[in-house]
Amino acid sequence: MGLIDVLLLDLDGVVRHYEPAATEAIERRCGLPPGKLHETAFEPRLLQSVVTGGFTRAQWVDRVAQTVGPVAATAWATQRPSVDREVLGLVRRLRVAGVRVGLLTNGTDRIAAELAELRIADDFDQVFNSAQIGVAKPDLRIFMHVLRVLGVERSSVLFLDDSAANVRGAGAVGMRAHLFTSASDLTDACKMYRLI
């Protein structure tokens, strides 16, 4: 299959997970229609602005609060995510074996702090955050930026994301790209490329 030098992972939906039931509970408590928080926070233009550094996470939460109210917005913004221990275990195993592992996230200005809070900042060799780069997945420019910084062949990067559009974007620039639905997808991809 060819040598893989770098494993590149999405953050949310791959390494870090938010519980939909928690968001639903906030909506019920605050008298919001089901799905209102997600619809408000992830409105495409609003989301694009925050993940490309147009404004901060705090400003994003303020915008959400304007629609759903400050109580719901604050509760939503302070949810505690969980770390996929199976994914993290494999990441650690691969790094011990000499594989570089990075994150590529459509994130906010708070990503570094959030990784530190979860105590996983040291588990990744590099973190590529769209809010700092100014371009977000699936724009091909962010994948090209990552390749320039990594300084490796396109086909030597294995990328997993839970978004099909992002997977297509990575594949379009020549990365080995796979859709992530569970930790078994990562395990299977690593076996396919003989990383484990």
Per residue in 69-118, pLDDT tens? Answer: 999 999 999 999 999 999 999 999 999 999 999 999 999 999 999 999 99
Listing DSSP states for 3-36 in one string gives ---EEEE-SBTTTEE--HHHHHHHHHHTTPPTTH
Which pTM does this prediction carry?
0.95
Residue 96 contacts by C-beta under 8 Å, 6 or more apart in sequence? Answer: none
Q: Vertex 186, ends 185 and 190: CA angle to 5°?
A: 120
Report the C-alpha gap between 183 and 37 in whole angstroms: 27
**pLDDT computed for residue 70 by the predictor:** 98
Low-confidence ranges of the chain (pLDDT < 50): 1
How far is it, in rounded angstroms, from Cα 28 to Cα 34?
8
Give the pLDDT of residue 129: 98
First to last CA, the chain: 13
Residues 187 and 176: their CA atoms lie apart, in Å, by 15
- Top-level CATH class of 6-17+82-192? alpha beta
Residue 18's pLDDT is 96
> What secondary structure does DSSP assign to 73-105, as a single string?
HHHHHTPPPEE-HHHHHHHHHHHHTT-EEEEEE
User: What does the pLDDT read at residue 90?
Assistant: 97
Domain coordinates in residue numbering, the chain: 6-17+82-192, 20-77
CA distance 189 to 182: 12
The predicted pLDDT at position 1 comes to 45
